[in-house]
């Protein structure tokens, strides 16, 4: 017989909308052993929380996350707030015996992330599980890529070439939203989207980054002050012309070495005009290579270097077959899926782990390690790009 | 204040799963004036219907569509059954005062479609509305294409080049499922997927097909008998080796003339190996052209022939901006959507129409017109491809 | 020891320029058993012929093709004139004992082509060889495609989908050049570019077209009179506003059946705005499929349907390996080639055949067969697209 | 009246073959004010030089480059030898009053390059001109890109993303050819192909690289000894199993800053399996962006960020219009060109400059500046990737 687990979500902006969709959908498409109940959504603005609850289908609201955590009908706390609040909420939730699903990046500093990872490890010994939401691991094409690499189809991995390119703040008049303030966001492009390609590349290669040389740049130093609006597309201008300082990077470049011997090139930017969500990874090994770009997320390009050279080439695998990762829940071949499906896939794995009492991946420890890479990139950038080892 | 309308769905296989998803989602992402309630799902097999209800989130079940139609708590009947039963159910539902949302193709014969269109027209005079589910009209890229054409950006339309290529029955051992029997499906590739590109091309061009020359082919004349299994991926082999005759086309080619003067080339096939859901349309006008392929459904290629020729070229518009059709409900730029979103978008329009008492499009009359094109193609193919006018 | 053969070329416009380039290059990149000497170029306008000789590197000029044919220092006659003069020149040249390389289409009527094929057959019995210049057979990617099909990699060929799309006369003010007059060009898009895809598809499939249903259209019925200017880009407007009738098709659609059982869809158009030289062929078989587009002429897309479906997909073979057809003469992998290389490759084969006394392909008989397909398409179009068998 | 200039070429391997082709072709397709005469080819092996002369069409041979330089019938010396001999030959040729066309990279050390640049400057004051062969500047698509950037269409350039990926030495059994020895080649991937993307990116951006952080890697430290074979595809294995040390980089990554404020990411590798000649550049500015990949060298992708966002997107410009750079010499739209055309285009500019007594670009000074960037990358890589300024 199926069990139902109560979910409480903190935050209801862009990530809150996407997570709501995934909680509503996961048991409708996958055969999961436990079903989620959308018990409560939490936000400081009571009216806005109420609107979010009605819109997204949550049964109740809270305005204080401590109250949410205290509720006995809540088994899972889902954290969708800005990064600076992750540590406090997550640690408290774990202490209260709630499973935690926390959006990425895990935290805004290594110190916070360390405390979170410690709390998660302790909770785990009590059967309380946690996961950090690097959703790109659940893109079917990337999950397939990981399988191919794990099976040795690429041989020895030699080079990783990855970028996450967006353009939403290329306009100097775009306002100073929270994602552009270090105290709330922790980092800029590096933390927000660079963290995704760090996690995804380590996931694919199966080996961690051990050292980096970084170069951060802030092209626009000041922006008009702005206020967040509700909902998904919060980040519009307000017409205000009072200016404030941008305290995070607009673009981040770094080179890296992986423990397994591969070298890597990384780039995260919110100024690459024409790129909307251009998260791309190329992995080159001795026996083959893989290329992925999120804007064509249903496709994985695979070059099998062991084939006759006269017939070899990058093969476009449309990752929509029933046997592909996560596709058992979705549609027939060629009936492509989209962005929010990666979150539904993620929750499927999370629920499977809760039922089987298996620690889900990526763990808070994984999130901490990504945080250490981010910190190393910043440290290197601050010291003339000098090579900087990632702490273990 | 919002009103809730009760929905009863007949059929729960592939289309039933997709429709359920859309009914569950539409009011969560769009601001619709009426909200759907998933009241009942109907299927002849009581246990299977129960499983579908639990899986997809329907409140109750029926095993006789007549009982479903009779329920006072149902305002909308959604028909997801094979084409041969559409006419009877739809006409009865309309007569019972229910709004009807009917999957495509509208029917299996022109005669049935005519009766349905007549019933729909009569019902409409009573405020009862109906719509046929050519969902590709609600692909944002195609909706954008229609806007560009309507605004005259392509000038005079001269040529349409369209294909719908799949490969799921290329294997001669694939069993004789209902889609391969004329009495249930009406037609083969022509009716199932050819109908989509007929509707989509007429929708884009804004002008109907008035004559055709057709060529149908059945490559595999006999197949092992097979039984449908439940759910999305019903059409697997059964191991039976008793053979039955394939009575529909495997592939259909036709040329066409549109009322507005354009000429067109059409191809529907389930034998194009490597093509999974390759529904493509190219439209060439005097001032520009458009290219679309569903396997990259978030993209529209647009060539503006009025630009300086040294700078002109096909432009890949990633149709994910908030201002693009239907995107107000979805995610930020570059965060692509998938197949089932087209159904959610479709229901948004349907609910908007119900609320505003506006006849939705495509209407049953539109569905009838597509049926007449299908019939003309078959007639032409049966008479050595002779040019055959489409009845008006 | 190598032999040198004297070449005389008739015509010096676009094709003349390209052929000159190929004659100048073929022995510089390939190891050919006989070397060409560029002895004379022939044109009615003495001054223009002289300019062409100097520009393209011909040793002398003639103003009468009969004089050219009569020269003892000429062994090969290369015919680059408009189609209406091919028959007379080619038949005379063969009668004079000259090998003939004739541009496509072979002729403007079946009757002419029949006489040419007869003359070629007679000459062949005397050791005098001839070839028609369907240069696309010598695109390395298409030569590789043929090899793959010949080896059975595609299994049974079921469908061919081909188009040749250009846009150079989409502007109604483009003048009435010779290619738009039936008496000189024979046919419009159908003959000029449709003939290429007929030949290429038959070459690939290894089976001839045996019947067709055609639809021809002339969008612009009258155009300003214009005069040809010299050289490559002859076809510019003259400013004259006196109008003349366009007597050929602007676009041609047809469906076809091949002797081997495949069906095909063909489209040739000069009105597909945005398409510059969009010659494309898709071939679908039971075991695999191939896709080619000339605008990316160094690439062949190959789907191997015998692979694990979870790993299958269209593979982009960059046809630039030393072992690929014709590539032994060109550059290292990835160092792509262009349009005129197909002519150089063609002459390599022609010279090889002359040296080995092997009849080259495509022969005049092959050119005649293409002419019969063109005629059948026109006949069908004139009789309401009725199915029309291609004469054997 | 036209003048003819005598050309003497030193070296006859891959580059020699390509240059020969360009010398043979340039005046046949372009209207150049001076025509080249292919007077002599020079190589130490007399028989091989003779074969090259016959094959490529040179009138005579020399076995000592000093003798070549001394010939009065030679006006231009074309240097196609390995980089370590460039300085000696070029300086001597300039001193002898010969115009010099020197393949890239200019030299193997900054010191050599400085002497060459000094010699070139002195010679220039005597009317003797020189040019270094960064042929990618003459890819029409990149020349168009430069024009667009120069006209301000991209606004302020912010980011450059460039890679040159090949895979020809990915196999550890590939022999130790001269390109893998520091004393002959100067550098590995960095010098051979990295120099191309350094030059091309500076050319496009219109601003020099002023500092870098580099990371070099040699994956395969030892390889079987091998001997060069003649001709284009010299670099095959010899079967010898005696091993020698690889003394250059297999892959090079670096980040960079341009004088104008842009930042850049660069990668050169010969281990990126599946990439054959994958030279790519992306340039992101405030008003637009450009993307190029040599494997599709006739295409330039242009995103105009000033367009309505609902219609904007990367536009594929097929750079084959008569009005595009260098295309006046080539074929009609869509009739694509290939690799060696870039050399023919380069020689067109060189000859134009010689005739007009204008210093050609890129100059030896430009070649020296690239050499300084290469040196800075190596210096940085040797000092833990520390930021290293490029000398001015």
β-bridge pairing D299-304 and D288-293: antiparallel
Cis previous bond, D362, omega within 30? yes
State the CB neighbour count (10 A cutoff) for residue A374: 29
State the maximum Cα–Cα separation within chain C, in Å, rounded to a whole number: 65
Q: How much of chain A, in percent, has pLDDT values that exceed 70?
A: 96
Q: Quick check: A170 pLDDT over 50?
A: yes
Give the model's pLDDT for residue D276. Answer: 97
Chains in contact with C, counting 3 or more C-beta pairs less than 8 Å apart as contact = A, B, D
Q: Quick check: A355 pLDDT over 90?
A: yes
Give the model's pLDDT for residue D30. Answer: 97
Contact assignment for B313 to D302 by CB distance below 8 Å: yes
Alpha-carbon distance values, C330 to A81, A260, C31, C320 (Å): 59, 39, 12, 8
Give the model's pLDDT for residue A88. Answer: 98
Element (H, E) at D160: strand D157-165
Report the distance separating Cα B30 and Cα B89, nearest Å: 29
Closest residue by Cα to residue D325 from D303, D301, D341, D313: D341
Give the model's pLDDT for residue B184. Answer: 87
Which of helix, strand or coil describes residue D266? strand
Which pLDDT tens digit goes with each residue over B129-163?
Answer: 999 999 999 999 999 999 999 999 999 999 999 99
CB environment A67-96: b (16+ within 10 A), e (fewer): ebbebeebbbbbbbbbbbbbbbbbbbbbeb
Report the distance separating Cα B189 and Cα C273, nearest Å: 30
Give the model's pLDDT for residue C237. Answer: 47
Which pLDDT tens digit goes with each residue over C157-199?
Answer: 999 999 999 999 999 999 999 899 998 888 999 999 999 999 9
CATH fold for domain A139-332+370-382: Dihydrodipicolinate Reductase; domain 2 (3.30.360)
Mean pLDDT of chain C, nearest integer: 95
Residues of chain A found within 8 Å of residue C289, distances taken between Cβ atoms: none
Residues of chain C found within 8 Å of residue D322, distances taken between Cβ atoms: 233
Give the model's pLDDT for residue D239. Answer: 55
Identify which has the larger pLDDT, C207 or A232.
Answer: C207
Of A309, A311, A321, the CB nearest to C310: A321
CB A276 within 8 A of CB B333: yes
Element (H, E) at C290: strand C288-293
Contact assignment for B385 to C263 by CB distance below 8 Å: no
Report the distance separating Cα C308 and Cα B244, nearest Å: 28
β-bridge pairing A157-165 and A263-269: parallel
Which pLDDT tens digit goes with each residue over C324-363?
Answer: 999 999 999 999 999 999 999 999 999 999 999 999 999 9
Chain D interface includes B154 (CB < 8 A):
no
Report the distance separating Cα B187 and Cα B165, nearest Å: 16
Distance in Å from the first CA to the final CA of chain C = 43
Which pLDDT tens digit goes with each residue over A220-244?
Answer: 999 998 765 443 344 444 455 799 9
Which of helix, strand or coil describes residue B146? helix
For an interface test with C, the pick among B167, B265, B389 (most C C-beta atoms closer than 10 Å) comes out as: B265
Closest residue by Cα to residue B215 from C264, C59, A165, C144: C264
> How sure is the predictor about D227, in pLDDT bands with cuts at 50, 70 and 90?
low
Among the four given CATH numbers 1.10.1200.10, 3.40.50.620, 3.90.1150.10, 3.30.360.10, the one describing domain B139-361+370-382: 3.30.360.10
Give the model's pLDDT for residue C240. Answer: 53
CB environment B62-97: b (16+ within 10 A), e (fewer): beebeebbebeebbbbbbbbbbbbbbbbbbbbbebe
Closest residue by Cα to residue A169 from A226, A216, A215, A214: A226
Give the model's pLDDT for residue D2. Answer: 64
Give the model's pLDDT for residue A285. Answer: 98
Give the model's pLDDT for residue D240. Answer: 53
Average the pLDDT over A26-34 and give the result: 96
Residues of chain B found within 8 Å of residue D323, distances taken between Cβ atoms: 309-310
Q: Quick check: B233 pLDDT over 80?
A: no
Domains of chain A, residue spans: 3-136, 139-332+370-382
Contact assignment for B317 to D318 by CB distance below 8 Å: no
Q: Hey, which bits of A183-262 come out as E strands? A: 209-217, 222-224, 243-245, 251-258
Residues of chain A found within 8 Å of residue B318, distances taken between Cβ atoms: 276, 295
Chain A interface includes C309 (CB < 8 A):
yes
Which pLDDT tens digit goes with each residue over B27-83?
Answer: 999 999 999 999 999 999 999 999 999 999 999 999 999 999 999 999 999 999 999
Cis previous bond, B362, omega within 30? yes
Of B302, B312, B313, the CB nearest to D311: B302
Give the model's pLDDT for residue A71. Answer: 98
Report the distance separating Cα B309 and Cα D48, nearest Å: 48
| CA nearest to B312 within chain D | D317
Which pLDDT tens digit goes with each residue over B254-282?
Answer: 999 999 999 999 999 999 999 999 999 99
Mean pLDDT of chain A, nearest integer: 95
Give the model's pLDDT for residue A185. Answer: 87
State the CB neighbour count (10 A cutoff) for residue D97: 13
State the CB neighbour count (10 A cutoff) for residue B45: 12
> How sure is the predictor about D143, in pLDDT bands with cuts at 50, 70 and 90?
very high
Average the pLDDT over C1-12 and give the result: 90
Instruction: Report how far Cα B247 is from the mean position of its chain's Cα atoms.
Output: 22
| CA nearest to C308 within chain B | B274
Alpha-carbon distance values, B287 to B307, C289, D323 (Å): 9, 34, 20
Give the model's pLDDT for residue D228. Answer: 52
Task: Report the DSSP beta bridge partners of residue D303.
Answer: D289
Report the distance separating Cα B179 and Cα D130, nearest Å: 72
Q: Please give, rounded to a whole number of angstroms, the shortest distance from the CA of A388 to a CA of chain D.
A: 9
CB burial class (10 A; 0-12, 13-18, 19+) of residue D100? buried
Contact assignment for C159 to B251 by CB distance below 8 Å: yes
Q: How much of chain C, in percent, has pLDDT values that exceed 90?
A: 92
Which of helix, strand or coil describes residue B197? helix
Angle at D202 between CA D196 and CA D207, to 5 degrees: 165
Give the model's pLDDT for residue D186. Answer: 87
Give the model's pLDDT for residue D237. Answer: 47
State the maximum Cα–Cα separation within chain D, in Å, rounded to a whole number: 65
Note the CATH architecture for domain D139-331+370-382: 2-Layer Sandwich (3.30)
State the CB neighbour count (10 A cutoff) for residue D152: 11
Give residues with Cβ within 8 angstroms of B158, minimum separation 6: B261, B262, B263, B284, B285, B286, C219, C251, C271
> How sure is the predictor about B232, in pLDDT bands with cuts at 50, 70 and 90?
very low
Average the pLDDT over B82-88 and give the result: 94
At the fourth CATH level, the homologous superfamily of domain C138-361+370-382 is Dihydrodipicolinate Reductase; domain 2 (3.30.360.10)
* DSSP conformational letter for A191: I
Chain B interface includes C263 (CB < 8 A):
yes
Which pLDDT tens digit goes with each residue over A302-335?
Answer: 999 999 999 999 999 999 999 999 999 999 999 9
CATH fold for domain D3-136: Rossmann fold (3.40.50)
Give the model's pLDDT for residue C20. Answer: 98
Q: Quick check: C100 pLDDT over 80?
A: yes
Contact assignment for B384 to C384 by CB distance below 8 Å: no
Give the model's pLDDT for residue C184. Answer: 87
Q: B269-273, D134-138, D223-227: which has the minimum mean pLDDT? A: D223-227
Chains in contact with B, counting 3 or more C-beta pairs less than 8 Å apart as contact = A, C, D
Mean pLDDT of chain B, nearest integer: 95
Give the model's pLDDT for residue D184. Answer: 87
Of C311, C314, C323, the CB nearest to A310: C323
Average the pLDDT over B200-218 and give the result: 98
Average the pLDDT over C291-299 and give the result: 97
């Amino acid at each position: 017989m199926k069990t139902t687990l109560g979910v409480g979500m903190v935050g209801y902006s862009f990530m809150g909308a996407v997570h709501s969709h995934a909680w509503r959908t996961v048991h409708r498409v996958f055969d999961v052993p436990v079903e989620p109940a959308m018990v409560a959504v939490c936000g400081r603005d009571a009216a806005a929380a109420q609107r979010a609850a009605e819109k997204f289908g949550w049964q109740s609201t809270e305005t204080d996350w401590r109250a949410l955590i205290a509720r006995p009908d809540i088994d899972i706390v889902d954290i969708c707030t800005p990064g600076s609040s992750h540590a406090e909420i997550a640690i408290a939730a774990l202490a209260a015996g709630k499973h935690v699903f926390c959006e990425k990046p895990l935290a805004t500093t290594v110190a916070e992330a360390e405390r979170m990872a410690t709390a998660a490890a302790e909770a785990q010994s009590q059967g309380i599980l946690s996961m950090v939401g690097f959703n790109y691991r659940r893109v079917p094409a990337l999950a397939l890529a990981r399988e191919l690499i794990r099976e040795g189809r690429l041989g020895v991995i030699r080079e990783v070439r990855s970028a996450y390119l967006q353009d939403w703040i290329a306009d100097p008049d775009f306002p100073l939203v929270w994602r552009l303030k270090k105290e709330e966001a922790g980092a800029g492009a590096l933390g927000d989207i660079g963290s995704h390609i760090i996690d995804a590349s380590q996931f694919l290669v199966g080996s961690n980054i051990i050292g980096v040389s970084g170069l951060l740049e802030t092209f626009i130093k000041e922006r008009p002050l702005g206020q967040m609006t509700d909902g998904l597309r919060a980040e519009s201008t307000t017409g205000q012309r009072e200016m404030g300082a941008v305290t995070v990077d607009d673009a981040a470049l770094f080179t890296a070495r992986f423990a397994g011997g591969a070298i890597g090139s990384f780039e995260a930017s919110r100024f690459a005009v024409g790129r909307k969500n251009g998260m791309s990874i190329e992995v080159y090994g001795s026996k083959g290579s893989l290329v992925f770009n999120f804007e064509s997320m249903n496709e994985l390009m695979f070059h099998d270097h062991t084939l006759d050279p006269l017939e070899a080439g990058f093969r476009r695998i449309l990752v929509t077959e029933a046997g592909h990762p996560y596709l058992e829940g979705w549609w027939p071949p060629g009936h492509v899926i989209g962005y929010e499906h990666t979150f539904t896939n993620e929750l499927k794995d999370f629920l499977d782990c809760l039922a089987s009492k298996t620690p889900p991946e990526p763990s808070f420890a994984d999130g901490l390690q990504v945080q250490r890479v981010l910190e190393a990139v910043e440290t290197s950038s601050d010291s003339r790009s000098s090579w900087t080892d990632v702490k273990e």
